[in-house]
Amino acid sequence: MVAAAEPGISAQQPKEKVDPIRWLKENLFSTWYNVILTALGLYIIYLVAAGLYQWGIADAVWVAETRRECLDKNPNGACWAGVFAWFEGFIYGRYPLDERWRINFGVIVLVLWMVPLWLPRVQGKIGIAASVVAFYPFFAGYLFMGGDKSLFLQVMVSIAIVSFIGVIVHAVIGVTSGGSLARTLLRLTGVSGAGDKLQRNLLIIAALAAVAIAFMAQAQWEVPTVSWVRWGGLFLTLVISGIGITTALPAGIVLALGRRSQLPVIRVLCTTFIEVFRSVPLITILFMATTMFPLFLPEGFTLNKLVQVIVAVCLFAACYMAEIVRGGLQAIPKGQYEAAHAMGLGYWRMMGFIIMPQALKFMIPNIVGNLIGLLKDTTLVTIIGLFDILNMIQAASQDVPWRGLHKEPMFVGALIFFIICFSMSKYSQHLERKLNTDHR
Amino acid sequence: MKLVKFAAAFAAAAGMLAVGTTGASAESTLEIVKKRDILRCQVGKPSPGFYNLDAQGNWYGSDVAVCQAIAAAVLGDKNKLEIQSVSTQARFTAMANGESDVLSRTTTWTLLRDTQLGLDFTAINFYDGQGFMVPKGSGIKSALELKGATVCVLTGTTTELNLADYNRKNNLKIQAVTFEDNNVRDDTYLQGGCDAITNDKSGLASSKAKFANPGEHVILPETISKEPLGPVVRQNDSQWMDIVKWTVYALINAEELGINSKNVDEMRKNPPNPSVGRMLGAEGNLEKGLGLSKDWAYNVIKQVGNYGEVYEAYMGGGKLGIGIDRAGSPNALWTQGGLQYSPPFR
């Protein structure tokens, strides 16, 4: 855990000017065996790179109708034409062609909603993050599934629309003037001098009015149903792992606190839950959830497989997260608890203000490592017949016009996973540096 | 992958236990399907010829055509269909727990499966059989010459067991190398990792067609197993079984009677003979016992085509076909020396 502090220290040291030739001499050619190792390493890199270049670029076929055509043009190279033909399939799975804009639109809204979190001048980031987690799923859920909206969903979608627009306006105000949406609203209506309570009530009324307007507006809005059966590709992978990731952390924190609780019932319940789900492989949980669970249900009652999978993934991820959180809590010295108590803080305030902020900081590498693992684990859903990105890639190799095309799609799939996981990793390193406030 | 097998065995065992409770259901499958207005038809992971996904995410293939035919017969529209892709390990459980209405996926009809899994096999829509493929350069002309050879085979299917039987019977000392994925198996074979591949002959033909030089490989003449493939339903629902069975027969019979998707309208208006008229619902009331509409067979042929059309499109030389010759094979009509034979529609 101390290692987490190191980048922070080096960042504060003045950068030395590096002489490339001296650097090479010191690091790669310092002794005779280092010279040999360097040469060997370079040779291996050359072999791999040259092979990849020959296969992937020099001999590759970029335009073809079928794999046979690719083979006729050049049997030794990659057949990227097939990957182009199937690429949308890898991303959207079996989502209907005419409805794919909905996925794009949903992603754009999510990105726009989250951008303010990275803008330094915007205030109230916790509120923004909470609004994304609480309301975006309803908006996205309806956008992706479509069909009739229940009253509850209508209300939630309206709230989501209002919070989205609110966050965007708030961010624009924040970036341009450093203010907040609430204060600007109050100033514009000329009541910024009124009492706190009045101000708050006015804001609530304004929010309710906005929701009411949004409710009227969204009543007209309807998109056709797209059954979960047609969800697939990278989209499905991201839906499952996205929901898993967002629930894992809060649920993990709750479970970890429960396991360390003084109350025996809560402690035993949490411990049992964690141990049971953590001791069973994910694939077994998925199998149980989708093939065994329906056996216990009444006849003709079929569950949505996707929901079962998501619930299974969430439970599984939460248990792992709980143990990571518990590890982080363990690392906080007892003095911190005692100091918090001495200041008269209760349990929740002690956890919220003193313990958790310190513990979570320690846990970032572990948490992100776990989340990356979760993202990759979701490819196991192929085994129960969901067409996530891996299953689409395998389907491409069986599609008659492109039969046998499997190296190229796999390569692309690996690349996509690498990009996602590597950016997660990079972001976590950035977070570590940013949150690093101690100078041990 | 041990875990997968364990989980599958566990699930299958539970599925068998559950048969007792689900077998005596209050509602028949026909009622459930009609009420739902959509047919749930189970296939497997994409497999050339039988069930495939295209780049737009649509299913196609000969087993998918059977699903479409059943949907057309029961619901009047071949698109009122939900294709479920289920792993080989979970296929029978998904039938037992009521998830799928019918299973239409390269599943070999065996006595054990027909009697002990709570399932009924209906009709055979494809006769397959296991064979071997070797490089032409090896000079091998018969499977009996494979003495001491290494043979690549997919694991977890009857293919592996058939190979073991054949090996023992002929004392060939074959070494089996098992694979989970047919692309990896084929690559290993192409790179000389094994002397031969064994698989159902349809699969071999399909593998061969995807090689860079198909001409350099030969499929040996021996067929070492019988693999009758066809749709499967839950046991104790004879009406649903009749519907599925006679839908397959409708495809075959239509070809025999010369009805196809193009001439079916004309044939129904002016039936050339009573057999055609009866089948298409222009006369008689064949549909009564099945509990379907009068034009069920018409819908099947109009929307899906007859057996020959389906074969040509997905198994034969069509654009999406895997190019297996039908003439002289068991899948030719009985009138042409094959085994495809439908009981009379009367």
Interface contact B49-A406, CB threshold 8 A: no
| Same-domain status, B208 and B246 | no
Give, in order, the Cα–Cα distances in Å from B330 to each of A39, B30, B220, B272: 62, 32, 17, 29
Interface contact A295-B82, CB threshold 8 A: no
Is residue B342 assigned to a domain?
no
Query: Closest to B57 (Cβ–Cβ): which among A94, A299, A404?
Result: A94
Range name among A146-160, B23-37, B47-61, B294-308 with the lowest pLDDT average: B23-37
Q: What is the DSSP letter of B273?
A: S
Selected residues 184-243 of chain B with any CB under 8 Å from a CB in chain A: 186, 206-207, 209-213
Task: Find the closest chain B residue to A403 by CA distance.
Answer: B210
Task: Give the model's pLDDT for residue A186.
Answer: 78
Interface contact A399-B52, CB threshold 8 A: yes
Best probe of the B interface among A83, A287, A382, A392, by most B CBs < 10 A, is A287
| Same-domain status, B90 and B143 | no
Q: What is the 3-state secondary structure (H, E, C) of A28-58?
A: CCCCHHHHHHHHHHHHHHHHHHHHHHHHHHH
Interface contact A93-B209, CB threshold 8 A: no
Task: Give the model's pLDDT for residue A204.
Answer: 86
B14 pLDDT exceeds 80?
no
Is residue B66 assigned to a domain?
yes
Chain-centroid distance, C-alpha B201? 13
Is residue B211 assigned to a domain?
yes
Total structural domains in chain B?
Answer: 2
| Same-domain status, B276 and B195 | no
Selected residues 89-108 of chain B with any CB under 8 Å from a CB in chain A: 89-90, 93-94, 96-99
| Same-domain status, B233 and B209 | no
b/e map B199-237, b = 16+ CB within 10 Å: bbbbbbbbbbbbbeeeeebbbbeebbbebbbbbbbbbeb
CATH classification of the domain holding B153: 3.40.190.10
Is residue B242 assigned to a domain?
yes
Task: Write the DSSP string, A222-251.
Answer: ------GGG-EHHHHHHHHHHHHHHHHHHH
Is residue B346 assigned to a domain?
no
Helix axes of A233-259 and A305-330: crossing angle, nearest 10 degrees: 40
Query: Closest to A385 (Cβ–Cβ): which among B7, B84, B322?
Result: B84
Interface contact B52-A395, CB threshold 8 A: yes
| Same-domain status, B140 and B174 | yes
Query: Closest to A383 (Cβ–Cβ): which among B4, B93, B206?
Result: B4
Q: What would the pLDDT profile of B129-179 be if each residue is shown by its tens digit?
A: 999 999 999 999 999 999 999 999 998 778 899 999 999 999 999 999 999
Ordered by where they begin, the domains of chain A are 21-87 (no CATH), 97-225 (no CATH), 231-440 (1.10.3720.10)
Task: Give the model's pLDDT for residue A15.
Answer: 58
| Same-domain status, B88 and B233 | yes
| Same-domain status, B245 and B256 | yes
Question: CA of A75 to nearest chain B CA: how many angstroms apart?
Answer: 6
Which of B205, B225, B245 terminates a domain? The answer is B225
| Same-domain status, B35 and B93 | yes
Q: Which residues of B touch A95 (CB under 8 A)?
A: 57
Task: Give the model's pLDDT for residue B284.
Answer: 86
Residue type, position B68, single letter: Q
Determine the structural domain holding residue B234 and report its residue range. 2-127+229-336
B184 pLDDT exceeds 50?
yes
Interface contact B48-A398, CB threshold 8 A: yes
Q: In what order do the strands lie in the sheet with B102-103?
A: B81-85, B39-43, B102-103, B232-234, B119-121
Q: What is the DSSP letter of A345?
A: -
Task: Give the model's pLDDT for residue A7.
Answer: 47
B319 pLDDT exceeds 80?
yes
Is residue B344 assigned to a domain?
no
Selected residues 71-90 of chain B with any CB under 8 Å from a CB in chain A: 82-87, 89-90
Query: Closest to A95 (Cβ–Cβ): which among B8, B27, B57?
Result: B57
Question: CA of B287 to nearest chain A CA: how many angstroms apart?
Answer: 26
Q: What would the pLDDT profile of A112-133 be if each residue is shown by its tens digit?
A: 999 888 888 888 888 888 899 8
Q: What would the pLDDT profile of A278-289 be if each residue is shown by its tens digit?
A: 899 988 888 888
| Same-domain status, B244 and B121 | yes
Cα–Cα dist A344/B37, whole Å: 64
- Which residue ranges of chain A lie beneath pLDDT 70? 1-16, 191-194, 298-303, 437-440
Interface contact A294-B4, CB threshold 8 A: no
Q: Smallest Cα–Cα separation from A63: which of A41, A46, A78, A42? A: A78
Query: Closest to B46 (Cβ–Cβ): which among A86, A398, A404?
Result: A398
ipTM of the complex: 0.85
Task: Give the model's pLDDT for residue A193.
Answer: 65
Q: Which residues of A touch B319 (CB under 8 A)?
A: 401
Please count the other Cβ atoms lying within 10 Å of the Cβ belonging to residue B165: 12
| Same-domain status, B168 and B78 | no
Interface contact A287-B54, CB threshold 8 A: no
Which of B225, B254, B284 terminates a domain? The answer is B225
Q: What is the mean pLDDT of residues B13-23?
A: 45
Phi and psi angles of residue B208, each rounded to the nearest 5 degrees, phi first = -60, -40
Is residue B312 assigned to a domain?
yes
Q: Contact B306/B217 with Cβ under 8 angstroms?
A: no
Q: What would the pLDDT profile of B44-90 be if each residue is shown by its tens digit?
A: 989 999 999 999 889 999 999 999 999 999 999 999 999 999 888 78
Q: Strand B102-103 vs strand B217-219: parallel, antiparallel, or unpaired?
A: unpaired
Cα–Cα dist A26/A20, whole Å: 10
Q: Contact A272/A370 with Cβ under 8 angstroms?
A: no
Q: Which residues of A touch B4 (CB under 8 A)?
A: 283, 383
Question: CA of A39 to nearest chain B CA: how many angstroms apart?
Answer: 30
Cα–Cα dist A122/B94, whole Å: 52
Q: Contact B304/B78 with Cβ under 8 angstroms?
A: yes
| Same-domain status, B263 and B196 | no
Query: Closest to A291 (Cβ–Cβ): which among B57, B90, B209?
Result: B90
| Same-domain status, B51 and B140 | no
Which of B170, B199, B225 terminates a domain? The answer is B225
Cα–Cα dist A143/A164, whole Å: 14
Is residue B345 assigned to a domain?
no
